[in-house]
Structure 1
Amino acid sequence: MCKDRAMSGGAGGRHRVVVLVRDGVLPMELGIVHQLFGRARSAAGEPLYEVVSCGVAAGPVRTDADFQVHVAAGLEALEGAGTVVVPASHELDERCPGAGPVPAALVAAHRRGARVASICTGAFVLAAAGLLEGRRAATHWLSADRFTAMFPSVDLDPAVLYADEGDVLTSAGEAAGIDLCLHVIRRDHGAAVAGDVARRTVVPPHREGGQAQFIARPVAAPQEASTGPAREWALERLDEPLTLAEMAARASMSVRTFTRRFRQEAGVSPAVWLARQRVERARQLLEETDLPVERVAERSGLGTAASLRARLQAAVGVSPSAYRATFRGSGSGPAPGPGPGSGSGAGRPAG
């Protein structure tokens, strides 16, 4: 991402995140943004973001629950935003997302250099504003058909958790909003800061945007074994040449059963999961240690420095040295650039 997009905004040089609240907003989605960005801290313990909410106008805003929220500012708050986040409002998004002053305000903020993101059906508003034209996008899978019919020029991926197009990001339901916020924090400040936020919030530190939104069988039935213990075992041995047969044996399953159940529970194959975990371990080591690149490659299980460079370049678009220079021990500073774009329930989307 560009430095001005990453770091423009609020008080004390902090990046200013503005949450645009509309009638019918989902309270959880509003809270997600404040909770996650509000907990991001530098190595010195200083807040890295200033998070504020605004509405179309200052005053009370209805939620989709039995209470209101009060916002102190109207759309003028977008003028100082480094990032604008649009949570879902189901009663508005799929009917008339282009109505009112919101789309024009989002376009103006984006032109001033703000990064714009949406959670769930908030993507309808970004699309109505023209910000997703020709871009890859995500929204809740239950709303995918309607979205595609309304915005055929948007490259909607109905399966992924989130899509990162650099200065415009979109995500699926409420839980995917958590993933998107953590992804943005990782982009801005590295895996260590995002991991700390995740630990404080007691959520998984990282799920790839390309992971499937809807996993048919996310947990094993009580009478069935899970692949979870095998994943924990593998995480402690990423520097070893782990095989599928070894992981299956840890779960007391045949390779075929283990592979099927692993995909059901994790959403990806064991090989893809292992590769992602090794890249994440390498990022952690680059941020938190002074180990040479060769040792980082060995300890993360990526083998050689050349392999580490290739994998990190594919994941985040930079070399190990550039990644370390940006994130090593600083807890702040813009990311050197986004990686490649990557971006349940029944009835009405859960947000």
Structure 2
Amino acid sequence: MVRRTGDGHTRTGRRGGPDPVVLAVLPYAVMALVVVANLIAGPTVGLLPLVSLGPAFAGLVGGWRRTVAVGLIALAAGVGLGIYSDLFEERRGFASLAAVAGVTAVGVAGAVMRQRREAELAGMRSIAEVAQRVLLRPVPRSAGHLRAAVSYTSAVAEARIGGDLYEVVAAPEGVRVIIGDVQGKGLESVETAAVVLGAFREAAHDEPDLKGVGARVERAAGRALQGEKFVTAIIAELDPANGAVFLNYGHPPPLLVRADGSVSFPEPASYALPLGLGLGSGEGPQPFRVAFAPGDQLLLYTDGVTEARDRSGAFYPLGARTPLLKDPDPEAALEALRRDLILHTEGPLHDDAAMLLLRHRE
């Protein structure tokens, strides 16, 4: 599982799988077991061909040099067992050694092909990581009157980028932010996220009011999306004098935690269609305002958070987990919430989960 934090680092969580130490030892252990079994059973039991299991396993998990080394050990063990069992007085002893050599050759070829594929995959992952740094840049830890932190957790172990998006821009009118969730996965969702973020970053600096920012983003999304594709999003503007103003495009409501600990989920009077489904009507969401005072916190998130289920099927109770956000360091507080989310699911998430935490300086 991969997560992206406010400091810009990407970390990979643990996943279940074979122990690499066991896989490294397995070829030698198998060959040793065959030799011991043959010695215990006596010379009349010819287990020589089974030593080929060593280079066979080595080719699956090791490099070609290691596979060659294991194959040579297997041939040496085969010669010893052949002499012990008097197999070289017959053709089958030499045939068994030929089988060991053949399996070794196949194992070496397999190891070479696997290493090439792994190198290609590593190159693709490296490109994806660069794309992530360009698309999902680390948010500023301080923006105007706010402190900010972000967390991104991918549902796919190999993923370095997904369909969730976020950005924080310090504009003359106030701090403007966006968080969104692109429908679907894969390269198409990445391209859509890039279009939406590009439009937002430009409009956040140029447009004098938040509704103009939303209109620019909606037009860009409408041009990029086809068919029934869409993006749910919240665009917000926060300034010390006017609190927080939101445009909600069919996205889960933000979590507002007051300085006194009270919790609410501000919602508009009516929800607008997600980005890409406006069908050119020009009727975007109506801005709605909430007070945002010193000591207050605002958590924007994608539905991968609130729709995360435990083994009994219960959704993650985000509103009840707000005490986890008490840490004075926003990044530490958000990391505590992320860890609790993972504990709730007791395993990998089924959807990407992005969280953006904004704190009003006291």
Q: Quick check: TM above 0.5?
A: no
Structure number having the greater strand percentage = 2
TM-score by length of 1: 0.27
TM-score by length of 2: 0.26
